[in-house]
Amino acid sequence: LKRLFEELDRFFADNTYQCDFVTVTDSLTLKVEGLLRYFSEKIGIATFKTRQKGSDKLVMEKLLDDLLADIAHKPPLKPDQKTNFDEEDRILIKYVLAEKAGLNLRNAVAHSLMDIFEYSFEHVVVLFCIILKLSKYKFIETKGDTNDSSSK
């Protein structure tokens, strides 16, 4: 976030300055995914999965789509799990980061699929909004359990 505000300060001081949205977009995109993984760990949702490959058991990080499905307030495959995660927030994050019909920024950033002209202030704004939305969540200890989350 510091880099975002440095870029904006430079632009406001000199309106001919060309902001570096590449670094800001790439950084914020990965930070949002990192925050989701951190939140998942805090509320007891595994961020990894195991799978068998021949005789070997592999441990790998969950795909972002799987993680987003798991943080739903009441995931379809785990109806007893309640995360208190707002569905509107989850859908926005999925649209911006993971949906092929959406912005799909996580894939584009992780695989360097964006051309320089595709980086925009609009992407930075929506990523900043997601971080603001994520900042409303807090973790509350209830009955000696630290794995419950509560929003707002």
DSSP code, position 35:
H
Collect the ranges in the chain with pLDDT lower than 50: 144-148, 151-152
pLDDT given for residue 143 in this prediction: 56
Contact in structure between 103 and 97 (CB atoms under 8 Å): yes
Contact in structure between 151 and 133 (CB atoms under 8 Å): no
Give the domain ranges of the chain. Answer: 2-142+146-150
Q: Tell me whether strands 56-61 and 137-139 are parallel, antiparallel or unpaired.
A: unpaired
Q: How far is the CA of 152 from the CAs of 59, 81, 86, 109, in angstroms?
A: 34, 19, 10, 30
pLDDT given for residue 132 in this prediction: 96
Q: How far is CA 144 from the centre of its chain?
A: 28
pLDDT given for residue 53 in this prediction: 86
Nearest Cα to 19, choosing from 128, 142, 119? 119
pLDDT given for residue 74 in this prediction: 76
Contact in structure between 57 and 72 (CB atoms under 8 Å): no
Instruction: Name the pTM for this structure.
Output: 0.83
